[in-house]
Amino acid sequence: MGPPFHADSRVCLYVMAGWAAALAIGWAVLRTRNPEVTQRREPEFEKAR
């Protein structure tokens, strides 16, 4: 596990960070557009956990 592993982990980190940022932005947009829908969905997610 030399330099190539380092590069792969760095790329994975960037991909995960970008995916998380896009998901957070999308969730924020959903909340601002229809708060009723998110309020109904949140208890369902908690029950599923």
Please write the tens of the pLDDT for every residue from 29-48. Answer: 888 887 666 566 555 556 65
Cβ-based neighbour number of residue 30 at 10 Å: 13
pTM confidence score: 0.47
Give CA separation, 1 vs 9, 12, 16, 34, 36, in Å: 11, 16, 21, 48, 49
- Higher confidence at residue 10 or residue 45? 10
Compute the CA torsion angle 49, 46, 23, 40 (nearest 10 deg): 150
Structure tokens at 49: 């956990």
Q: How far apart (Å, rounded) are the C-alpha atoms in residues 26 and 20?
A: 10
